[in-house]
Structure 1
Amino acid sequence: MDIIVKTRREFERIAASHIREILGPGVEVEPAPMGYLGVVFVKGLGEGKWRAAEQIANRVPEADRVLVVEGLVKAELGEIERAAAEVARRYITASDTFAIRTTRRGAHSFTSIEVNVRAGAAVKEATGAEVDLEEPSKPLYIEIFQDTAAICIPATKEYRKLRRDKPLALHVFRKVALGQFVYEGDEEAVRKMGERIGRAVQTFEVGELTILLHKPVQGRALRAFIQAVEEGIESRYQIQVKSYGRAVWKVPVYVYELYQYVRAREGEPIVVTDPKGDYITHVKERLAELFARDRVNILIGAREGVPPGVFRFASLVVDLVPEVTIATDFVVPSLAIALISALEEAGALPKYAGKRPKTPTHARHDR
């Protein structure tokens, strides 16, 4: 094989069809080799494989990753170690950083971690390059298919959720105490709105949510709203627990009367969201000062806005999107995005500094 193309599962045949059209006759394109979904082999390219890889990367969006095969050996640790070092000498210099990315398919006497450790040590010895598991300048991919191991160089960029230039936002959201007015209407509308608000606050893992009463509300409507909010929080929380590789904060829910809430939070920052306020980026420095505190209370209306009398007790009154009145179920996401954007502009957010590697390589999943 000359090129390994990795796609989403069940997109390998579509990708293969486009690759055949681009590269023309004389090139063998095999989708789902050995029954492995999400993989396409491209063969018969010879010296033109790098140009072909660039064409695939530029013209086939179904190709999530395009890997050029630079070494092909038996799937044995010693052979993989030797081949990885040989490819690395041509590809990696002492001034580069590298990581080994291994995907293993089939039954073997070794694990992906063992491949990473052995191959990583060999590459480091052969090149003098340092390991960077998160943002290597020269990643090396080892794709194992049963008895065959391919040592590959990527023709496509790696994309990661966190990079060293990205600001960190989660600690800011944890400081946020949201005060959300009760949404009133028919029971079905109240239920849907409550669930959406619950999912939104849990998405951003805010420190707490207090449902605020500023006038008499029917008990049935209040009960339906609280129950829906908690269901929305629980629904999103369960998804986060399954998909995140870290501990997840579950947002606690309280109920309070608006004016007593404002009195109880006296001395703490209070921010009111209202179209009559200052555009949030215009007060970013003041916002940054408020978020130097341990807790920032942010009030959100529902149908009716926050009463103007409360404005006098607020540290800030902010407008999230000038000339737009935001629907109740969109306020929390809009607030979160605007808040982080303003704090980033103010230089108030720390940058992700990366993690120190525990081992000389990074293991991918086995399958």
Structure 2
Amino acid sequence: MDLIIKVRRGFEKVVASIIKELLGSAVEVTPAPQGYLGIVFVNGVGAGKWEIAKMLVEKVPEADKVLVVEGVTKAELPEIERVAVEVAKRYIKSGDTFAIRTTRRGVHSFTSIDVNVRVGAAVKEATDAEVDLEEPSKPLYIEIFQDIAAICIPATREYRKLRRDKPLPLETFRKVAIGQFIYEGDEEAVRKMGERIGRAAQTFEVGELTILLYKQTSGKTLRLFLEAVEEGIESRYQIQVKSYGRAVWKVPIYVYELYQYVRDRVGEPLVVTDPKGDYITHVKDKLAELFKAERVNFLIGSREGVPPGVFRFASLVVDLVPEVTIATDFVIPSLAVAIASALEEANALPKYVGKKRPRSSE
């Protein structure tokens, strides 16, 4: 094999057909080899395999990863180590960082972790390069298919959720206390809006969500809305617990009367969201100052905006998207993104530094 193409399951034949059209019938293309879904083998491209790989990267968006095979051996640990070191010596230099990425298919006497550890140690000794599992400059892929192991160099970039210097807004969102006006209307609209607001608040794991009453409200409407908000929070929370590799904050819900809420939060930062306010990025430095407090309160209207009398008690009045009136169920997501963007511009968010300490300069 010259190239290994990784694709979404179900796209094997589609990608194989596209590659055939691009490269011609002289090239052997095998979708789902040995029945392994998500894989396409390309063979017979000869010495120009890197040029072919780069062309596929540019022309085939269905290809998630394009791996150039630089060595093939038996799926035995000593042999994998030997060939991987040979490839690494040509690919990895002192001063580079690397990681071993192993995918094992079939039954073996060793695990993928065993391969990563053994080969990683051998490559480090042979090249004097540093291991960096998160953002290696030279990742090395080992693809094992039953009794065959392919040592590969990726022609595609690695994408990861967290990279060094990415801002981390989650703890900032935990300081956010949202005062959301109750939504009134027909029963179905109230239910849908409440569920969407609850899901949005839980998505960003804000510190708290308070439903605000600012005039006489039907008890039935209040009950429907609160039940829907709770359902929205719970449904999103359950998904987060299953899919996140960390503890998840479940957003608490409270109910308060608007003007008493404002009085109760005297001395704390209070931000009103309203189209008549300043564009949020224009007041980013003031916003950053407010987030030095333990809690920052944000008021969000619903159909009717926040009463202007409250503006006098606000630390800031901000417009999230000038010239656009945001639908009630989109305000919390828009607010969260705006807060993260503004605080990042103000250099007020912590940055991800990675799990691995940087190499000493000594």
Q: TM-score scaled to structure 2, two decimals? A: 0.97
Provide the rounded CA distance (Å) in 2 between the counterparts of 1:107 and 1:238: 35
Residues 87 and 151 of structure 1 are in contact (CA less than 8 Å); yes or no, is this contact kept in structure 2?
A: yes
Matches within 5 A, 1:123-134: 123-134=123-134
Provide the rounded CA distance (Å) in 1 between the counterparts of 2:252 and 2:104: 42
**Aligned-partner SS, 2:338:** helix
Aligned twin of 1:121: 121
Amino acid at match of 1:254: Y
Aligned residues between the structures: 357
- Write out the 4+ residue segments of structure 1 that deviate beyond 6 Å after TM superposition: none
Aligned twin of 2:360: none
The reply to whether residue 65 of structure 1 matches residue 69 of structure 2 is no
Matches within 5 A, 1:174-189: 174-189=174-189
Provide the rounded CA distance (Å) in 2 between the counterparts of 1:50 and 1:103: 22
Following superposition, the deviation at residue 138 of structure 1 comes to 0.1
The reply to whether residue 171 of structure 1 matches residue 171 of structure 2 is yes
Provide the rounded CA distance (Å) in 2 between the counterparts of 1:84 and 1:211: 60
Q: Could you give the per-residue CA deviations for residues 108-161 of structure 1, whole angstroms, max 9, x where no partner exists?
A: 111111110001001101100001111100000011111111100000111111
The reply to whether residue 304 of structure 1 matches residue 304 of structure 2 is yes
Aligned twin of 1:287: 287
Amino acid at match of 2:77: L
Matches within 5 A, 1:27-42: 27-42=27-42
Matches within 5 A, 1:210-289: 210-289=210-289
The answer to which structure, 1 or 2, has the higher relative contact order (CA under 8 A, 6+ apart) is: 1
Following superposition, the deviation at residue 259 of structure 1 comes to 1.1
**Aligned-partner SS, 2:197:** helix
Aligned twin of 2:55: 55
Give the alignment's Cα RMSD to 1 decimal. Answer: 0.9
**Aligned-partner SS, 1:30:** strand
**Aligned-partner SS, 2:321:** coil
**Aligned-partner SS, 1:221:** helix
Matches within 5 A, 1:78-227: 78-227=78-227
Aligned twin of 1:362: none
Amino acid at match of 1:283: V
Amino acid at match of 2:278: D
Aligned twin of 2:45: 45
Provide the rounded CA distance (Å) in 2 between the counterparts of 1:42 and 1:287: 54
Residues 6 and 40 of structure 1 are in contact (CA less than 8 Å); yes or no, is this contact kept in structure 2?
A: yes
Following superposition, the deviation at residue 295 of structure 1 comes to 0.6
Provide the rounded CA distance (Å) in 1 between the counterparts of 2:79 and 2:202: 49
Instruction: Give 5+ residue unaligned stretches, structure 2.
Output: 358-362
Provide the rounded CA distance (Å) in 2 between the counterparts of 1:241 and 1:102: 27
Amino acid at match of 2:136: P
Provide the rounded CA distance (Å) in 1 between the counterparts of 2:338 and 2:288: 13
Amino acid at match of 1:233: I
Q: Could you give the per-residue CA deviations for residues 66-113 of structure 1, whole angstroms, max 9, x where no partner exists?
A: 000111111111111111111100000011000011111111111111
Provide the rounded CA distance (Å) in 1 between the counterparts of 2:192 and 2:332: 15
Provide the rounded CA distance (Å) in 1 between the counterparts of 2:172 and 2:271: 14
Amino acid at match of 1:131: V
Provide the rounded CA distance (Å) in 1 between the counterparts of 2:324 and 2:44: 58
**Aligned-partner SS, 1:142:** strand
Q: Could you give the per-residue CA deviations for residues 218-257 of structure 1, whole angstroms, max 9, x where no partner exists?
A: 1111111111111111111111111111111111111111
Following superposition, the deviation at residue 165 of structure 1 comes to 2.6
Residues 22 and 55 of structure 1 are in contact (CA less than 8 Å); yes or no, is this contact kept in structure 2?
A: no
Provide the rounded CA distance (Å) in 1 between the counterparts of 2:354 and 2:314: 37
Provide the rounded CA distance (Å) in 2 between the counterparts of 1:164 and 1:332: 27
Q: Could you give the per-residue CA deviations for residues 336-363 of structure 1, whole angstroms, max 9, x where no partner exists?
A: 1111111111111121111128xxxxxx
Amino acid at match of 2:349: L
Provide the rounded CA distance (Å) in 1 between the counterparts of 2:223 and 2:76: 63
Worse overlay, 34-43 or 256-265 = 256-265
**Aligned-partner SS, 1:121:** helix
